[in-house]
C-alpha cells in the first residue's frame, strides 16, 4: 500500500516565497494544506491564485493564532484523511521540499515516530546562519534537552518535521503551545507518550525572508516554559507512572542540596554578624550535604539520559 503523505504549511508574511515552496513539493505528496494565519499579505489567496494543484487545500484562520496555532489547525485537518506521515515545513523558503523523502526514509529505516531537521550537523553550513541565531539555538537546545528528555536531539526549534499519522493521533493537540514554542512543546509531548525521535541533517536557506521571531521575547519566554515542562516530565515519568532508584536519587539529592545550602548560608550570616569563624563541624556537614546532593542529582540525570537512549535503541532493533 502506498504511503499517504500530507504536508502542512503555516503561512504568515510569506507571500514572497510560498508559491515557490508549494511548486517545489514533489508528486509523492498526497495532500498540501496551507494555513493562512490571517496573513496581512494574503499568502493563502496568493497560493490559490498562482497554484492550480488539486492537492492543495487552503485554510484561513479568522484571527492570528501564531505558528503553533496554525499548525494545530493544519494537523487536525490532516488527520481527517488518515495520513501515513504528516510533514511540517515553513513557507518562507528556508526549507527545501526535496528533503521530504529523506525525512520519510529516516523514519522507515529506523522505526522512529518523529523526525526533525538539525541545522548544526554540518559545521560548514553554519556559516550561512546569522550569528545571533546560532547563539540562540545553542542556548535553547541546552534547555530543551532537560525539558524534553531527548538528550540526543539538537536544534529543537527546527520547523522541518515529519510525524507518523498514528503517533499524531495520540498527542493531545489542544494542550500544545500555539506560539513559537510549538516545536519544543511537541518534543515534550512526544516524550510523554514514549515516541522515538531522530534528527535529520539539513542545511537551512537564508535569503531575503523576514523572520517573525523576536529573539528578546524568546529568551524571556522559553526558559520559563522549558522549566515548567521539565517539572511536568519528571513528575509524570518518575513519580506518577513509575517510581524507581532514580526517583529516590532526585528526592535525596534535592533535599541534601537544599539543606546544605540553607545551613551553610545561615551559619555564614551568623558568623559575619558575630564576627566569628564557622565551626569545622558545620563546614564539614555543609560540604558533605552539598557534594552528596550534587552527585545524586547528576546520577539522576545520567539515568535519565541512558533510559531514553536505551528505549530508542530497543525500538530500532524491532
Provide the residue ranges of all domains of the chain, joining segments of one domain with +.
5-213, 243-317
Average pLDDT over residues 126-142: 79
pLDDT at 212 over 60: no
Average pLDDT over residues 120-135: 74
pLDDT at 220 over 80: no
And the C-alpha cell for 95?
526549507
Higher pLDDT, 184 or 126: 184
- Position 179 scores a pLDDT of 85
And the C-alpha cell for 89?
515545513
Which residue in this structure is represented by grid cell 519528571?
A: 234
CA distance linking residue 72 with residue 310, whole number of Å: 31
Average pLDDT over residues 106-116: 95
What's this model's pTM, rounded to 2 decimal places? 0.88
| Alpha helix (H) residue ranges in 58-181 | 66-79, 100-110, 131-148, 165-168
CA 150, 152, 158, 159 torsion-angle sign: negative
5-213: CATH number: 3.90.550.10
| Alpha helix (H) residue ranges in the chain | 18-23, 43-50, 66-79, 100-110, 131-148, 165-168, 182-192, 215-235, 245-274, 280-317
- Position 213 scores a pLDDT of 55
pLDDT at 30 over 90: yes
- Tens digit of pLDDT for each residue in 181-203? 999 999 999 999 999 999 999 98
Asked if 142 and 222 count as a contact pair (C-beta separation under 8 A), the reply is no
Asked if 24 and 96 count as a contact pair (C-beta separation under 8 A), the reply is yes
- Position 23 scores a pLDDT of 96
pLDDT at 159 over 60: yes
| Confidence band for 316, pLDDT divided at 50, 70 and 90 | very low
- Position 278 scores a pLDDT of 86
Is residue 39 packed enough to be buried (19+ CB in 10 Å), middle (13-18) or exposed (0-12)?
buried
pLDDT at 211 over 60: no
And the C-alpha cell for 67?
505558528
CA distance linking residue 269 with residue 139, whole number of Å: 35
> Any idea of the CA torsion for 78, 15, 154, 186, to the nearest 10 degrees?
-30
CB half-sphere exposure, 275, CA atoms < 13 A: 0
pLDDT at 318 over 60: no
Amino acid at each position: 500500500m502506498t504511503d499517504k503523505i500530507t504536508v502542512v504549511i503555516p503561512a504568515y508574511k510569506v507571500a514572497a516565497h510560498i508559491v515557490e515552496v508549494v511548486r517545489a513539493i514533489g508528486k509523492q505528496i498526497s495532500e498540501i494544506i496551507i494555513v493562512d494565519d490571517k496573513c496581512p499579505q494574503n499568502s493563502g489567496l496568493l497560493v490559490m491564485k498562482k497554484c492550480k494543484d488539486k492537492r492543495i487545500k487552503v485554510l484561513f484562520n479568522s484571527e492570528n493564532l501564531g505558528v503553533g496555532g496554525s499548525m494545530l489547525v493544519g494537523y487536525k485537518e490532516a488527520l481527517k484523511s488518515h495520513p501515513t506521515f504528516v510533514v511540517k515545513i515553513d513557507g518562507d523558503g528556508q526549507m527545501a521540499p526535496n528533503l521530504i523523502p529523506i525525512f520519510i526514509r529516516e523514519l522507515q529505516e529506523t522505526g522512529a515516530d518523529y523526525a526533525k531537521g538539525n541545522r548544526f550537523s554540518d559545521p560548514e553550513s553554519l556559516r550561512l546562519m546569522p550569528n545571533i541565531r546560532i547563539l540562540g539555538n545553542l542556548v535553547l537546545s541546552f534547555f530543551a534537552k532537560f525539558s524534553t528528555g531527548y538528550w540526543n536531539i539538537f536544534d529543537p526549534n527546527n520547523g522541518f518535521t515529519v510525524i507518523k499519522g498514528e503517533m499524531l493521533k495520540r498527542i493531545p493537540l489542544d494542550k500544545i503551545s500555539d506560539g513559537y514554542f510549538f516545536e519544543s512543546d511537541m518534543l515534550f509531548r512526544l516524550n510523554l507518550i514514549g515516541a522515538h525521535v531522530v534528527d535529520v541533517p539539513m542545511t537551512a536557506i537564508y535569503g531575503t525572508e523576514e523572520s517573525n521571531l523576536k529573539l528578546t521575547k524568546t529568551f524571556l519566554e522559553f526558559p520559563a516554559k522549558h522549566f515548567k515542562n521539565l517539572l511536568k516530565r519528571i513528575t509524570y515519568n518518575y513519580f506518577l507512572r513509575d517510581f524507581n532508584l532514580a526517583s529516590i536519587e532526585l528526592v535525596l539529592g534535592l533535599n541534601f542540596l537544599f539543606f546544605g545550602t540553607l545551613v551553610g548560608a545561615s551559619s555564614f550570616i551568623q558568623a559575619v554578624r558575630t564576627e566569628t569563624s564557622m565551626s569545622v563541624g558545620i563546614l564539614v556537614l555543609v560540604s558533605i550535604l552539598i557534594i552528596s546532593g550534587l552527585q545524586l542529582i547528576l546520577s539522576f540525570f545520567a539515568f535519565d539520559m541512558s533510559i531514553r537512549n536505551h528505549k530508542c535503541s530497543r525500538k530500532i532493533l524491532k
